[in-house]
Each structure stands twice: as C-alpha cells, then as structure tokens.
Structure 1
Amino acid sequence: MRAGCDLSRRVRAAAALALRAVAAAVLAVPAGVVSSAPVAPLACARPLFLTFDTGHMGVAPLVADVLARHQVRATFFLANERTLTDGSSLDAQWAPWWKARAAEGHLFGSHTHDHVYWRADRPDGRFDMRATFGPDAGRTRVMDAAAYCAELDRSATRFTQMTGQRMAPLFRAPGGKHSPALLAAASRCGWAHVPWSPAGFLGDELPSERYPNRMLLERALRDIRPGDILLAHLGIWSRQDVWAPAVLEPLLDGLRQRGHCFATLAEHPAYRAAVARGRQP
C-alpha cells in the first residue's frame, strides 16, 4: 500500500459516517442475518480488525512477536514484494514465517502477487494496471477480468504452497486503488475487497519528519472507533522511524485499555460469509 491521508474534510466526514454504519453492524447484526455458518462470538462489544499488508518484511518478526504476546489475531494481505534481504516476501526464506502465522490462527488474503495497481478502466472492459514488482514492474499492462483474477489467485496458490492452508477469498487492491468495474470483476471470480477505515489508517508509510511515531500513536488512540478496520505494513522502505513495535505495542495496550478487542475479518459481518464459503472444500 502506498496510501495518502490528505482527504478533504467533506470526504473524511462521509467516510467516517460509512464506517460508523459498519461498526453498528458489527455490534448489532445477528450472525444469522449475515451467514448461516456458525461464527465464534466476538470477545467484546468494541471489536477492531487489525490488518497488515506485506512490505520489505524487516519488522515482520517483531510484529509476529507482539501479536503473539498480546494474543491478537490479525488479517494479512500478501503480495510478493522486495525485501531487505534482496529476496521477496513470499520466497522460500519467508515460507516458514507464513506457515507459523497460519498455525497461530491469523487470516490471510491476496494483495495481488506483483503488487499490481489499478490505473484506469478501458472502454472495452479491460483495465490499465501497473505492477510494482515482478517482470512487468513499472510498466502499464492491459488486463482483462480473467487476468486480474489470475493475479489475485497467484498469491493464494503461493500461500497454499507455503502453509498447506487455503487463503480466504478476500483481497486488498494495492494503494486502495480500484474502480467499481474492477471490484465487480474480482467479485465474479469470488474475491471480496477489503478497504480500511479512515481512522484505521495507522500512518506507518507516512514521512517520519512530519508524522513521528508519537503523533501516529496519539492520533490512533484518539480517533479509532469500534468496528474500524486498521491498516499497517510489514515494513515500509521510505519511513525512517520504525513503526513496529514502537507504535504497535503501545497501540494494542491503549486500545485494550479503552475496552477494545481484536478479531480477524472472519468475524466481520461484511466478510464472514465469504470467508466461511472459502473455507469449504
């Protein structure tokens, strides 16, 4: 993800209203209205959904340690990104790390394999896309719906190779960039898109000189509300102040003190039916 946070006041207010509706659904909608599959009850009345996108993986072991000590289950979105060790986040070096996270009960979705950004819709129904990594990195490529679905499937296939488990049918478009047509194409091949909440943008990809860790922590603790989907990464190249565990650990502590609990998107009312279907053989 390379998200920005300079939303206009009007857009921010509208987004906040939308996310409050999601929060209300988390707190009030009976499970049977969303899915007939049995769903474990949430641990509290103020749930949050912590998610991580891949990155250079430099903080991945620290993130895993913090999550394990705090007994927090998160949702990870996987792309094959370049790492600090000159490999890639889904290569053989990192396969044991992903397998261990799967064994711990975290949830996993696709971030496209080559971190492919949507650029524009074409009149013929195809899409202009640009990969950040892989053989087509930095070049605009025209993809039809089948090609985009195949790109999402590549991460799922690699995840199964590494862990022996199946990926949930959830994805996050890199940069949050998409169109209604792209989401519809992904939906037709079984993928549900997961954005993040305005307050859930935790800012670990913002410039350190303007957004120091202290500011990011204070803002998150002030603004996060029940039902929010939180977004962070497993390493951002451009940030000088390392976000995890410097912010992650006090953030989890502070949110717990405010009565929040954490769940994977398998328990989110907008996604649990899709996750339940995806887990069926």
Structure 2
Amino acid sequence: MLSHHQLVTRRLLLAVAGLGLLSMSGCEFPAVDGGDGAAPSAAPGTPTPPSAPASPATSTGPAPTPLPPQPRSLSNPLFSLAADDRLVALTLDDGPDPVHTPLVLDILHKYGIRATFFLIGENAARQPALVREIARQGHHIANHTWTHPDLRSVTETQIRDELRRTSDLLGEATGRTPTWFRAPGGDWSDVSLQVCADLGMRPMGWSVDPQDWSRPGTSLITTRVLAAIGPGSIVLNHDGGGDRSQTIAALETYLPVLLDEGYRFTAPQ
C-alpha cells in the first residue's frame, strides 16, 4: 500500500500531467475574481420533531373533531455518506445549462460516473430536453428551487412555491418526483427544512467545496478536491450559473485520478 507521502505525490503528478494536457488543448483558463455563488453558512441546529398526537379515547358520543394534519418530522441536511470505504458522491448545482451541462454529461459518460444534478426550476423550464437527457443517462435529478433565492429572506409561502413548482416540473419531465433538495448557497432555515419535509424530500449539503463557482482557476479547483476528499464525501461542483469552463476542465483532471485511487461514485437515493 502506498504511504500517505507517496499517495499525495502521485496525486500531484497525475493532476499536473492532466493539467498540462488540458492547457495544450486550450481548456485551461486564467483565474478571475468574483463569482455568482455564495459560500454556505453553518447548518441550523437540529429541529425538535413535533410530538405525535394522542389517540382519541373511545366514546359513544359524537365523533371527535379530526386533528389537523401534522407536519413531517424535520431532518438535518446530509453532509456526508455513511461509508467506510471509498464511496463518494458528485453533485452539480445551478443547471441545466445548454453549453456546459452537455460537456459535463460527456465527461461522466466517459468515466462511467453517476452524479446528482440539483436543477433550478426556471433553467429546467427553458431546457426540458436537457432535463430528460440527464435522467436518460441515469443521473439523479434533484430540486434546487425555482429562482435560486436566499431562503432565509423569503416567506414560507414563497419557499413552498419555489420548491413545489420545481418538483412538479421535474416530475413531469422525467416521470420521477425529486427526493432530494438543496438550499441555494447552503443557506438553510427551519422553514425551508419544514417545507422540504412536507413535500417528501430530504435536504442534502456537501462536505467538499472547491468553490468552483468563484472561478479560482482549474488548478486550484482540482487541488482543493483532491486534498479534501475522503470516504463518504459529497463533492459540490457547478454546471450552471455562469462560465463553468474551469469546472469542466477540473472534472476531466481529478475524476480519473480518483478512479485510479479506487474511489467509487454513487447518487444517493
């Protein structure tokens, strides 16, 4: 078995070799400042599940007034997989994008990797054929709201509309209602978690964030993923929301490195 020092050295050599090939083919891009994403905030505290209603006592009198529907129990976002081997999940946010998403699909097909795409409803509405193609290739499609708002600053009614419209659209396009939801920017709130549960979804976060949304350069995206990944990691990348050429070049570089090291990819159900 390779020592930690040998493993790190091997990763760097493979990554540099991959980046050299990408630079020769024009896939490397200079780092730029800024971006159109946001770093995730800390997850909220664990909500207290509501108590189950007591069963009404038997009576010969009038039937008791039915209790109102109880909200589903909340769950905290999933930030990593329960895995003791090299099983990881790749997730992509903010698509579908007519330029970048097909390129990501080509890379995933090339390496036989199944991923989870967190789609924005208004983007999916403009690209229904691309939504169907993502599903046709066996990837998991999930809910990332309709307009990508900060869910901490909108009403419960707005949150419910954002999530319900997106789930309805994706369900109609693919024949399968989304089972996972991710808050834009990772900005969860108790209300958004409750609505997520009410609509039959579970919240998913991430444990590896190379901040590719800020376009820091292909080399830095690659280095951050390889340095942070481990058994059970959920990796965050973006296929929409701006120029994702650096992300695409990084995927082409680090995915074969991880596969060579024995990592396997899954899309949580």
TMscore range, shorter length: 0.5 to 0.7
Counterpart position of 1:48: 88
Q: Is the 8 A contact 2:209 2:237 kept in 1?
A: yes
Q: Is the 8 A contact 2:96 2:119 kept in 1?
A: no
For structure 2, list consecutive stretches of 5 or more residues without a partner in the other structure: 1-35, 43-76
- Go from structure 1 to structure 2 and tell me whether the alpha carbon gap of 1:213 and 1:232 turns closer, same or farther (over 3 Å shift): same
Counterpart position of 1:182: 192
Output the CA distance in 2 between the equivalents of 1:102 and 1:56.
12
Percent identity at matched positions?
Answer: 30
Q: Is the 8 A contact 1:59 1:244 kept in 2?
A: no
**Consecutive aligned runs of 4 or more in structure 1 exceeding 3 Å deviation:** none
Query: Which structure would you say has the larger Rg?
Result: 2
User: Any idea what SS the aligned residue of 1:150 has?
Assistant: helix
Counterpart position of 1:216: 221
- Go from structure 1 to structure 2 and tell me whether the alpha carbon gap of 1:160 and 1:263 turns closer, same or farther (over 3 Å shift): same
- Go from structure 1 to structure 2 and tell me whether the alpha carbon gap of 1:235 and 1:151 turns closer, same or farther (over 3 Å shift): closer
User: Does 1:60 find its partner at 2:101?
Assistant: yes
User: Does 1:191 find its partner at 2:204?
Assistant: no
Per-residue deviation, 1:255: 0.9
Counterpart position of 1:39: none
Per-residue deviation, 1:51: 0.6
Output the CA distance in 1 between the equivalents of 2:255 and 2:266.
12
Counterpart position of 2:115: 74
User: How many equivalent residue pairs?
Assistant: 198
Counterpart position of 2:173: 162
Q: Show the 5 A alignment for 1:23-172.
A: 23=81, 25-27=82-84, 45-55=85-95, 57=97, 58-81=99-122, 89-92=123-126, 94-119=127-152, 128-129=153-154, 143-144=155-156, 147-163=158-174, 165-172=175-182
Q: Tell me whether 253-262 or 146-155 shows the greater mean CA deviation.
A: 146-155
User: Any idea what SS the aligned residue of 2:248 has?
Assistant: coil
Output the CA distance in 1 between the equivalents of 2:218 and 2:241.
14
Paired residue for 1:252, among 255, 261, 268? 255
**Structure that is richer in strand per residue:** 1
Output the CA distance in 2 between the equivalents of 1:117 and 1:220.
26
Counterpart position of 2:211: 203
Output the CA distance in 2 between the equivalents of 1:55 and 1:259.
29
For structure 1, list consecutive stretches of 5 or more residues without a partner in the other structure: 12-18, 28-44, 82-88, 120-127, 130-142, 267-281
Counterpart position of 2:246: 243
User: Does 1:265 find its partner at 2:268?
Assistant: yes
Output the CA distance in 1 between the equivalents of 2:88 and 2:227.
14
User: Any idea what SS the aligned residue of 2:249 has?
Assistant: coil
User: Any idea what SS the aligned residue of 2:163 has?
Assistant: helix
Output the CA distance in 2 between the equivalents of 1:55 and 1:160.
16
User: Any idea what SS the aligned residue of 1:247 has?
Assistant: helix
Per-residue deviation, 1:149: 2.7
Output the CA distance in 1 between the equivalents of 2:221 and 2:148.
25
Per-residue deviation, 1:233: 1.1
Output the CA distance in 2 between the equivalents of 1:193 and 1:52.
15
Counterpart position of 1:230: 235
User: Any idea what SS the aligned residue of 1:195 has?
Assistant: coil
